[in-house]
Amino acid sequence: MTRADHRGQAPWRILPGFLLVLTGCAERSSRSEPNAWFVEEAVQRGIEFRYESGFDKRALIPEIIGGGAALADLDGDGDLDAYLVQSGWNLAAGPPPNAPANRLFINRGDGHFESAKEMGQAGDRGYGMGVAAGDYDNDGDIDLYVTNLGPNVLLRNDGTGRFEDQTAAAGVGDPGWGTAATFADLDRDGDLDLLITHFSDDVNTLYQNQGDGRFRDHTAASGLSLSVRPFLAWGTCFFDADNDGWLDLFVANGHIYPQVDTHPSGYRYAQRNLLFRNVHGHFTEIGLDAGLTREQVSRGTAFGDYDDDGDVDLVVVNVNDQLQLLHNLGTKANHWLGVRLLSRFGGRDAIGARAQLAAGGQLQSRQVQTSSGYLSQSDPRLLFGLGLQSQVDSLVVHWPGGRRQVLRDLEVDRYHVIHEGQSTTVFGVQRQDPVQATAAPAAGQRAGWMQPHHALHPIGQQRSALQQRQTQMRDHLRTQNLTPSARALAPHSAS
């Protein structure tokens, strides 16, 4: 059956083979915690929302893996609002006439929320999975893309938290089983493209932003239609693995059924993870060459520069197996620039802020968004690979709420802390051993780009150097007489 034939069917009609029998879990006895860190206050704070999966006694797979949520400043007033994805109906019975809708709760600014009264067409009634947030039309506010079991929905924000369904006009309906989505500028043209991941036996979809409100299916042309089957993807993220200025793609894989190993389909329970290298907008899978040779059952993946050396490392959680800390050993010849964007509201990370960097006639765009794929949160800092460019022309920050800030003469191979409306604070150390730098591996070369840190570089051997960098950062912040929230940026010492 072709992909087109597959998508011509209602997705919930093709799932009877995926029944799961749920077993009960014994509830742990509760005890009084007078000094509890967390207190459940959803209803007290104005958020009355109950996610309904719709299953009765026996569940289909989609009925146990939803639903998603987005925290973003959707009305442009500087605080985080909440968009909640609903599923809401039994898949075996089919959608009812009045299925429960997705909900939007607006932050009043006093720690309380209220249900949005004027949210336009944001109340989608599809069988919801997840949601991605990003300013796809570059008008300064956060738009939403909702993935469903069935057609997905693109919601354009008018800047006040009122949304208009632009799915048909943009051409991103994607009527399959969309499990997750993410925005990223993959072709370096200054606007956000869109990647959608699907369940097993379907090709993930890359939509290229045309800059006029429309998208084009760029999956085949980009090379992402290859090396996808028979993998089942979970944690995914775009990041610049080799700091050449082009966003690469990591995909964590693993099936859900151990018994699939005996099935004639050829699927495997343990699967290797994939790394797609982006070369001027075209992707080539180089996982084996990059050192991702081990087959495991991977799920959540977090991304971040844990050792502050200017490249992105990965933490991969594996089912019934050792967690992997993949230390990036890619090229050190390329320059980089890191920034952390802090909102003027309390000095917190400016979720939704967008930064555009110009260097050597090239433009890159990044957005502050900590969620990354399945069940994970990643480094909120933005890291720009510069290739051989040793200086930056400008960095333009578009803050939530519409403010625009231009910074110039930023030193490269450093992390910069940028407070909204204020000058930058620089911390970090110069990249080391530039003479010993090695080029990133080309396809066919087994260079071991990403390697388990515990296998090559025991954490204890790196701890003193990491603590020294942390001390330098804290001392610098202290001398600048920054606010306590800024000083809190200094990572805690390793224990």
State the average pLDDT over residues 142-169. Answer: 94
Is 365 strand, coil or helix? Answer: strand
Q: Which residue has the higher pLDDT, 198 or 337?
A: 337
Output the pTM of the full model: 0.70
Q: Which residue has the higher pLDDT, 425 or 474?
A: 425
Spatial separation of the C-alpha atoms in residues 145 and 66, rounded to whole Å: 15
Is 170 strand, coil or helix? Answer: helix
Spatial separation of the C-alpha atoms in residues 154 and 59, rounded to whole Å: 28
Q: Which amino acid is at 112?
A: H
Q: Are 219 and 187 in contact (CB under 8 A)?
A: no
Q: What is the 3-state secondary structure (H, E, C) of 204-266?
A: CEEEEECCCCCEEECHHHHCCCCCCCCCCEEEEEEECCCCCCCCEEEEEECCCCHHHHHCCCC
State the average pLDDT over residues 77-91. Answer: 88
Spatial separation of the C-alpha atoms in residues 230 and 201, rounded to whole Å: 6
Does the structure show a pLDDT above 80 at 321? yes
Of 13-17, 179-183, 284-288, the range with the lowest mean pLDDT is 13-17
- Structure tokens, 327: 């230390």
Q: Which residue has the higher pLDDT, 104 or 471?
A: 104
Spatial separation of the C-alpha atoms in residues 3 and 164, rounded to whole Å: 29
Q: Which amino acid is at 249?
A: L
Q: What is the 3-state secondary structure (H, E, C) of 27-56?
A: CCCCCCCCCCCCCCCCCCCCCCCCCCCCCE
Per residue in 54-70, pLDDT (tens digit) is: 888 777 888 887 778 88
Does the structure show a pLDDT above 70 at 261? yes
Alpha helices in 115-198 (DSSP H): 167-170
Helix (H) or strand (E) holding 416: strand 415-419
Give the pLDDT of residue 242. 93
Does the structure show a pLDDT above 50 at 444? no
State the average pLDDT over residues 360-389. Answer: 85
Alpha helices in 271-399 (DSSP H): none
SS3 content of the chain, % helix, strand, coil (to 5): 10, 35, 55
Most confident of 197-206, 329-338, 471-480: 329-338
Give the pLDDT of residue 479. 44
Does the structure show a pLDDT above 50 at 420? yes
Going by the DSSP 8-state scheme, the letter that residue 16 receives in this structure is G
Give the pLDDT of residue 383. 95
Does the structure show a pLDDT above 60 at 309? yes
Does the structure show a pLDDT above 90 at 323? no
Query: Strands of 298-304's sheet, edge to edge?
Result: 298-304, 313-318, 324-328, 450-452
Going by the DSSP 8-state scheme, the letter that residue 453 receives in this structure is H
State the average pLDDT over residues 235-248. Answer: 90
Of 24-38, 164-178, 185-199, 284-298, the range with the lowest mean pLDDT is 24-38
Does the structure show a pLDDT above 70 at 198? yes
Q: Is the bond into 100 cis (omega within 30 degrees of 0)?
A: no
Does the structure show a pLDDT above 80 at 15? no
Q: Which amino acid is at 478?
A: R
Provide the 10 A C-beta neighbour count for residue 476: 16
* Of 325, 328, 332, nearest in space to 437 by CA: 332
State the average pLDDT over residues 216-244. Answer: 84
Q: Which residue has the higher pLDDT, 120 or 3?
A: 120
State the average pLDDT over residues 178-196. Answer: 87
Most confident of 12-26, 27-41, 439-453: 27-41
- Structure tokens, 1: 């059956």
* Of 200, 228, 235, 198, nearest in space to 317 by CA: 235
Confidence of residue 381 (pLDDT cuts 50, 70, 90): very high
Who contacts 231 (Cβ-Cβ below 8 Å, separation ≥6)?
251, 253, 271, 274
Give the pLDDT of residue 56. 81
Give the pLDDT of residue 235. 76
Q: Are 267 and 279 in contact (CB under 8 A)?
A: no
Give the pLDDT of residue 200. 65
With tokens 């911390």, the residue in question is 427
Average per-residue pLDDT for the chain: 78
State the average pLDDT over residues 180-203. Answer: 84
- Structure tokens, 193: 């493209």
Confidence of residue 495 (pLDDT cuts 50, 70, 90): very low
State the average pLDDT over residues 328-337. Answer: 87
Q: How far is CA 51 from CA 37, 204, 217, 494, in A?
A: 25, 26, 32, 39
Give the pLDDT of residue 458. 31
Percent of the chain at pLDDT exceeding 90: 34
Spatial separation of the C-alpha atoms in residues 457 and 118, rounded to whole Å: 54
Antiparallel, parallel or unpaired: β 103-107 and 113-115? antiparallel
Does the structure show a pLDDT above 60 at 477? no
- Structure tokens, 291: 């050192």
